[in-house]
Structure 1
């Protein structure tokens, strides 16, 4: 998308399912800005760190990109105030608390190009964290889709392989599958869960 970087922008990359390429797309967009000689930084909630203890984000297929891990959206605001990057990427946005919404709005109002990537719904099919509000504020939204591991159709839901006892359980292929609505419903009903 062509746009003037003299004003802020909120770009949200989302999917209902895991393994759809949200983080890969975030990295691709940030790299494009870096190639265009823009300063950029990527953040990820510390709780979402996977595959390594390094200060990077890692996609499920192993692509790595330097990142700053934080516990609070206020740390993102603080970093932006000091370093003034043109572009701010936020991976796994659904894991931040609702204060991320005001933070993203403030960053865009200050002129930053913000790219937030996150899962729009939980494995129970409910809106995930602050994602509904981020989607409502977005200047642009990109929806990406995984592939249902059961039938091969486009996946729109994350399916927990075992019944969860906590709302948020971070994990990869050992805990979740990408499924279409039909296969997600069948899997949940087979366990006796309400849909």
Structure 2
């Protein structure tokens, strides 16, 4: 068992396979005896899940970028209070599918130059970064094809099209350069078992 909690996040463009990798990592660590909380954003708590439906469903232009930033920050605050912080305090490993880096990209970059606003709200209301972020790097066109093939209801950001995917990939790679101490880039253009092996090796080193 881990003596102190560890907060891991997965980031990447839509269709990168990060959700699958988060689930596979959780299963692997549980099999080793770690207590693991697998969660997601937006969502991860009752209140945050309600906000998730507001921001991920409906017309792509339903909300302004500024309104989205406020909604995502509110969801993240509830998630942090009710799920993440209690689990970390109990010494558990928290694996989160997306966190603040996604807001820095999707709202702070894709819909206007609002990165400073995202960071200001993050500093004021959230006040923490993950211990480690695994960026699953994926070819944008392949990722979009995968994402559209899911046939789910939460396709609002996927509906912005391939140019957004390309912009987001470049943005995530720039974030990895900005926060080199916590970002680990994993090549997602491979079969999921090969990706999972790399992910596991990175995380195991942090748990030693």
TM superposition score normalised by structure 2: 0.43
Higher normalized strand content (fraction of residues): 1
Greater share of helix residues, 1 or 2? 2
TM-score, length-scaled by structure 1 = 0.46
